[in-house]
Amino acid sequence: MTMRVRFAPSPTGYLHVGGARTALFNWLLARHEGGTFVLRIEDTDVARSTKEAVDAIFAGMRWLGLDWDEGPDIGGPYGPYTQMERLDTYRTHADRLLESGHAYPCFCTKGELDAMREEAQARGEAFRYTGKCRVLSSDERTARQSAGEPFVLRLKVPSEGETVVDDLIHGKVTFQNAVLDDFVLVKADGVPTYNYAVVIDDATMAITHVLRGDDHLSNTPKQQLIYQALGLPMPRFGHIPMILGPDKTKLSKRHGATSVTAYDDAGYLSDAMVNYLARLGWAHGDDEVMTRDELIAKFGVEGINDTAAVFDQAKLDWLNGVWMRQTASAALVPHIRPRLEKRGWLEARHDEAWLTKLVDLTKERARTLEELVAYANFFFDTAIAYQEEATAKFLTPATRPILAALAERLPATHPWTPEAIEAVFRALAEELGVKAGAVIQPTRVALVGSTASPGMFETAYLMGPDLVRKRLSGALGRIPVGV
C-alpha cells in the first residue's frame, strides 16, 4: 500500500513555526517512502476562517519548498480538499452512525448544558455530558425532530473498558472510556466538529499515517471510536511533542516571529529554515547541516523525539549563517536585490556581477540576509556612522596628509582594479616611509566608518572612484584643522 500522509491546517491565521514543522515532517516522510503528500484545509471554524489565511498557508508552504501532490488548488482523486465543500460526505456517514445506533440526536439546550456544567463544578468534577438524550425513546426523538427542535449529533461512547492508542512516537497510550463523554459529532447547523470531520476526511482520502502535534493526542481515542463505529480502516498515528520557547513555555509571539514568512522577511534562507525545523525534535546521529535531499534520505519517524523541543534562536542564526556561506554568492543575489531596492540604494552600476562581488565580500560576516545588507551599507552612497573610538584614533591631523594624498590619487587610478588600487596604497606608504597598515587603517575608517571591513583594496574597488572620493573628502572634513 502506498503511504499517504496529510497536512491539514485550519485557515484562521498564518502558518506558524509549529505547523510548519508538522507539515515538514509529513512531507519528509512521504518523500522518503515514495508516498503521497496531501494538503487539506480544515475550515469548519467558519467564523474565523479566511481566504487571506489560506493564502498565507500556501505562501508559507511554498517558501519552505513543501510541494503537495493533492490539494485545494491542484485537485486530486479524493477531493474536494476543503472541508466546507465536503458536507455531503459528512452527512452520509452521520446517517450511517444513526442507522447503526452508534450515534443519537441530542436536544439539550445551552441552558441545560450550562446547568450540567455548574453541577459538575460544584462536585469538583470535570464536565461530562450526562447522556440525558441517550435514553430517549425512538418515538420521542422522531417527534422532537418532526417538530423542528434543533439538535446535535452525539456518539455513543462505551461507558466501560478502555481505548488504546498505539502511537508511533509515544508507544501505547491508554484512555479509560469512563472519562470520555458522548461527544458531539455534528453541530445543530449541520457543520461537523473537528473530531468527526477529520476521521471522515482521513478515511475517505485513504490516509495511512497521521503525524500531528501531541496536543491532539487526547483527541485520538475519540477518533478511534468513530473509526470503529463506522468499521473504517484506521491510520497509524504519531504525535509530535510541541515546540517550547527558551522559557520552556509554549512557543508564542512573545518569543519572536513565529510565522514562517516572517522569517523570510527577516532574512533567513528557506533551506536553512527547513534544516533547522527538521532538527527541531528529530535527529539522525550528530548530523546538523543537511540539504533537503539528505533530509529525505535520512528521515524516519523513529528519529522523532518523544519530549518537547526548545526553539533556539541563536542556533537558527548560526545555521542560517552556515547556509549563507555555503550558498553560491550569485544564488544569494536575487534575495539581496529586493532588500537593496527597498532601501533605494541601487544605482545603474550595481549590476549582477557587482552584487555577486558584494555578497562575496560580506556574507562571511552575516548570519541573515538583513544583517548582510545592513553591514554592506558603506558600499552605497548612504550616510555612514563613524565609530567614535576609531575616529579619534585614525582621523587625526597626523593622518590628514595620507587621506589628502589618496583623495587626489585614488579616483584617478586607471584601470580601476583591486590590484591598481593596492599599488597606489603601497606606493604612498613607501613614499612616506611607513608600513602599508599606516595608510590602510585611516583609509578604512574614512571609507567605512570603523576599523572592520573586508579587504581594503576590494572594498575601495567595489565602492567605485566617485564614492571613494566623496568619503575621503568627508573624512578630511571631520579632522580638526590647526591642531
Rounded to whole angstroms, the Cα distance separating 38 from 331 reads 30
User: Cis peptide before 80, with omega less than 30 degrees from 0?
Assistant: yes
Greater pLDDT, 482 or 377: 377
CA distances from 47 to 11, 53, 91, 234, 473 (A): 11, 13, 21, 31, 63
Antiparallel, parallel or unpaired: β 209-213 and 236-240 = parallel
CB 460 within 8 A of CB 412: no
Rounded to whole angstroms, the Cα distance separating 90 from 103 reads 13
**CATH number, domain containing residue 409:** 1.10.10.350
Give the chain's domain count. Answer: 4
**CATH number, domain containing residue 301:** 1.10.1160.10
Minimal CA–CA distance to 197: which of 188, 187, 182? Answer: 187
C-alpha cell at 207: 490516509
**In terms of domains, do 419 and 277 share one?**
no
Q: pLDDT tens digit string along 388-403? A: 999 999 999 999 999 9
- Please report which confidence band the pLDDT of residue 483 belongs to, taking 50, 70 and 90 as the band edges: low
Residue 354: is it exposed, middle or buried by C-beta count within 10 angstroms (0-12/13-18/19+)?
A: middle
pLDDT at 480: 83
Last residue of some domain: 315, 346, 371? Answer: 371
- Please report which confidence band the pLDDT of residue 254 belongs to, taking 50, 70 and 90 as the band edges: confident
- Please report which confidence band the pLDDT of residue 291 belongs to, taking 50, 70 and 90 as the band edges: very high
CB 283 within 8 A of CB 16: no
**In terms of domains, do 355 and 303 share one?**
no
Rounded to whole angstroms, the Cα distance separating 21 from 36 reads 18
**In terms of domains, do 417 and 479 share one?**
yes
**CATH number, domain containing residue 224:** 3.40.50.620
Residue at 125 is within a domain? yes
Across the range 261-287, mean pLDDT stands at 96
Rounded to whole angstroms, the Cα distance separating 410 from 396 reads 20
Rounded to whole angstroms, the Cα distance separating 126 from 218 reads 15
Residue at 336 is within a domain? yes
**In terms of domains, do 107 and 212 share one?**
yes
Q: Is 36 helix (H, G, I), strand (E, B) or coil?
A: strand
Q: Which of the following is catalytic: 253, 298, 357, 435?
A: 253
| Assessment of whether the complete model's pTM goes beyond 0.85 | yes
**In terms of domains, do 261 and 221 share one?**
no
Last residue of some domain: 240, 271, 305? Answer: 240
**354 Rama sector, left if φ>0, alpha if ψ -120 to 50, beta otherwise:** alpha
C-alpha cell at 37: 503528500
Across the range 29-47, mean pLDDT stands at 97
**In terms of domains, do 142 and 228 share one?**
yes
Look at residue 88 and tell me whether its pLDDT is greater than 90: yes
Across the range 8-31, mean pLDDT stands at 96
**In terms of domains, do 118 and 230 share one?**
yes
Look at residue 255 and tell me whether its pLDDT is greater than 90: no
User: Cis peptide before 415, with omega less than 30 degrees from 0?
Assistant: yes
CA distances from 175 to 219, 354, 403, 417 (A): 11, 64, 79, 74
**In terms of domains, do 338 and 315 share one?**
no
Residue at 218 is within a domain? yes
- Please report which confidence band the pLDDT of residue 252 belongs to, taking 50, 70 and 90 as the band edges: confident
Sign of CA dihedral 422, 426, 431, 434: positive
Rounded to whole angstroms, the Cα distance separating 5 from 233 reads 15
Residue at 76 is within a domain? no
Q: Which domain holds residue 178?
A: 86-240
Across the range 252-260, mean pLDDT stands at 76
**In terms of domains, do 225 and 314 share one?**
no
Q: Mark out the alpha helices in 288-417 (DSSP H runs).
A: 292-298, 313-326, 329-343, 352-362, 369-375, 388-394, 400-409
Residue at 421 is within a domain? yes
Residue at 107 is within a domain? yes
**In terms of domains, do 333 and 323 share one?**
no
By percentage, how much of the chain surpasses pLDDT 90?
95
Whether residue 253 lies in the annotated active site:
yes
Rg over alpha carbons for the chain, rounded to the nearest Å, is 32
Across the range 144-169, mean pLDDT stands at 96
**In terms of domains, do 309 and 258 share one?**
yes
Residue at 129 is within a domain? yes
Listing DSSP states for 137-183 in one string gives -HHHHHHHHHTT---EEEE---SSSEEEEEETTTEEEEEEGGG----
CA 212 to chain CA mean position, Å: 16
**In terms of domains, do 324 and 367 share one?**
no
Across the range 128-156, mean pLDDT stands at 95
Residue at 174 is within a domain? yes
pLDDT at 253: 72
